[in-house]
Amino acid sequence: MSAFDDTKHTIEKAEQILYKTYNRFPVLFDHGKGVFLYDTEGKEYLDFGAGIAVCGLGYNDPEYTAALENQAGKLLHISNLFYNRPAIDAGEKLLAASQMDRVFFTNSGTEAIEGALKIAKRYAYNRDGHGGHEIIAMKHSFHGRSLGALSVTGNDHYQEPFAPLLPGIRFAEFNDLDSVKALINENTIAVIMETIQGEGGIYPATEEFLKGVRALCDEHDMLLILDEIQCGMGRSGEMFAWQGYGVKPDVMTVAKALGNGVPIGAFLASGRAATAMVPGDHGTTYGGNPLVCAAADKVLEIFETREIVAHVRQVGAYLWKKLDEFAEKHDCVTDHRGKGLIQGLEFDRPVAPIVSKALLENQLVLISAGANIIRFVPPLVITEEDVDWMIEKLEKSL
């Protein structure tokens, strides 16, 4: 059987076996190296999606792979009834990078959001002795697919088939401080938002808005929860995007690039939020196991030793320049937004045909954000030469 026939047969089998909740592209990837992916037919693809902003170090990084192999030969799982050193080491590094006080490791970003919401609810219960509190979220946000995370995701399309969701969620306009003020009442206990909206179209919070929300939370004894699942871990040109604003959250969620491909997330808490929950309030069987934490520990170490964040600032500025030039050249591009290596081009038409043609004809991996935005979230280790090659392939695809 030829490689082409084998790929076709495998994809047909997948369509029969896997639950149909994704519309996948007809490509079967086999392995990766650096910022390139390779399919089962041997074709090379330049990756500007990074597994949806996950593979910050790219593919097959020798130092990272060695750390995984070493831990896999020692201990994979013991549950959270016992201590394990990789979780302690990774937690120590993550707290040092964020200057938060406590961390809880999860299996995903969605689970991190669930934990953050529980901190807010428990904090309010401890304070007032009852439930029934409200949380303010943002329109056009995205926080995950579980029922709790979906409840604070400001998109009717995602929510409607699964209603009723959590009660007490009210939605404000992102970057509109007055709309937040208008929703605050005696029951409001938290504001949750992405520091840079991802799925909603690559919209960074304005400094005025983020500082204003922080001030409102302080004034009304509310917790500020910042979702850094996509925009955190160096992607914005800061280790965490909020650090570029001089604003610190009470609770932060991270995932994606924290594990560089292994399933790990975390929620971190600071100050009054760090002691809100007590033993028995929350738990996880797999979260924080030795394998995923060894991966996260090595990622955090590499970020520091290789100065990944500084590299993102440099290459992110170059990507901004090249995308600006691209936008000026093409009338169909209506806007350019983002920071660091999380940027988006907005088009005056749906981008699915461009994304598909880039992949299938020009071997460039791109992903969208909504119907008319191409999202650029490549591995954080890309070079300026990679940006040039991407622009060349994007021109052909357009």
pLDDT higher than threshold 90 for residue 7: no
**How high is the pLDDT of residue 233?**
98
Q: What is the pLDDT of residues 129-163, one digit of tens each?
A: 999 999 999 999 999 999 999 999 999 999 999 99
Q: What is the pLDDT of residues 203-234, one digit of tens each?
A: 999 999 999 999 999 999 999 999 999 999 99
Residue 333 phi, psi (nearest 5): -90, 120
pLDDT category, 39, cuts 50, 70, 90? very high
Cα dihedral 198→49→321→356 (10° resolution): -100
pLDDT category, 3, cuts 50, 70, 90? low
Chain-centroid distance, C-alpha 284? 20
**How high is the pLDDT of residue 325?**
98
Burial of 329 (0-12, 13-18, 19+ CB in 10 A): exposed
Cα dihedral 276→282→286→289 (10° resolution): 30
pLDDT higher than threshold 90 for residue 306: yes
Residue range 302-331: average pLDDT? 98
Cα dihedral 281→284→285→286 (10° resolution): -160
Q: Which residue in the block uniquely carries the two structure tokens 């009210």?
A: 170
Q: Please give the model's pTM, rounded to 2 decimal places.
A: 0.96
In sign, the C-alpha dihedral spanning 25, 26, 30, 34 is: negative
Cα gap 293→69, rounded to integer Å: 13
In sign, the C-alpha dihedral spanning 148, 151, 156, 161 is: positive
Mean pLDDT estimate for the chain: 96
Residue type, 214: R
Looking at the structure, give the CATH architecture of the domain made up of residues 82-305. Answer: 3-Layer(aba) Sandwich (3.40)
pLDDT higher than threshold 70 for residue 81: yes
